[in-house]
Amino acid sequence: MSDYNKISIGFVGGGNMAQAIIRGLLSSGHSGSHITVMDPSAEQRDAIAAIDNSIKLSTDSAELARHCDLLVLAVKPQIMADVAEALGQQQRPAHQVIVSVAAGITLKSLCGWFGESASIVRVMPNQPALAGKGMSGLCATAAVDGLGRTAADYLMAATGEAAWFDDESLLDAVTAISGSGPAYFYLIMEIMQDVAHEFGFTTEVARMLSTQTALGAATVATRGDDDLATLRQQVTSPGGTTAAALTALEEAGIRDIFRKALIAARDRSVELGA
């Protein structure tokens, strides 16, 4: 699997996350002829074909699994057991790397279905992957070698940034921070939009003020030139409007509120995984 643009990638499940990864792969130069998607839904297969008609479509996951270098499990968590157990009994290439993007499905469970010696990578992606701006956390079994990790990196880089973790339990924290995280920012933007509307702006302008401000702040923050506290201070003049707003937020206990929220999300991820 040294020439990653030519590796055979099979997707079991053709939903939103699979489509996001596929779009990213195609944008990075991966040939659609080296991608196969299995989905029992004709509607989903049509959606995949609309992305690129050179992508192979299938209704046979066993046949797909027998021939691909990367096997991507992109099915809903509640049907993963049935799907993975059936695939685990099939003949598959010895070098094949299995990548699961199903939330809450642990490596222990996946190894139970595919065998302890299987090369398996568990991924926690997030919704912005749909726009190529995702943040994914990855964790692998000991059987995944350097080439396997690079292949998984190649796959998820198609949707944005990716980070590896040796401790799988940290994926529960990744879920709380980046998996659920977009919803926190949407809530803040929603609040800003609503208040802007109260101030007299049209809904369209209120949304633009909110979302473009968030996009701009995130873009500056991702440059990495200054830490986040410094960036905040650069916008905050003593006695100014920003200082008034931040003082109100601090007095309302925003730091403790967010800390409790993130801990609640992390703990719920642990519960669901169990």
Tell me: do 162 and 198 sit in the same domain.
no
Q: Are residues 112 and 37 in the same domain?
A: yes
Residue pair 50/23 in contact by the 8 Å Cβ criterion: no
In which band, very low, low, confident or very high, does the pLDDT at 247 lie, cut at 50, 70 and 90?
very high
CA 137 and chain centroid, separation? 8
The per-residue pLDDT for 55 is 94
Above 90 in pLDDT, residue 6? no
- Which CATH number characterizes residue 231's domain? 1.10.3730.10
User: Is residue 116, in this structure, part of any structural domain at all?
Assistant: yes
- pLDDT-derived band at 1 (thresholds 50, 70, 90) equals very low
The candidate with the shortest Cα–Cα distance to 272, out of 137, 15, 78, is 78
Last residue of a domain, one of 137, 168, 199: 168
Question: Looking at the structure, do residues 9 and 64 belong to the same domain, yes or no?
Answer: yes
Contacts of the segment 110-118: beta carbons below 8 A, 24+ positions apart: 110/84, 111/141, 113/81, 113/84, 113/85, 113/87, 113/88, 114/84, 114/87, 114/88, 115/88, 116/143, 117/143, 118/88, 118/143
| pTM, rounded to two decimals | 0.87
Whether residues 130 and 207 fall in one domain: no
In a domain, 176, yes or no: no
173-185 per-residue burial string, b: 16 or more CB within 10 A, e: under 16 = bbbbbbbbbeeee
| Percent with pLDDT over 70 in the chain | 99
Enclosing domain of residue 213: 181-273
Determine the Cα–Cα distance for residues 47 and 69; give it in Å rounded to an integer. 23
Q: Let me know whether 236 and 146 are in one domain.
A: no
The predicted-structure confidence for 205-245, as pLDDT tens digits, reads as follows: 999 999 999 999 999 999 978 999 999 999 999 999 999 99
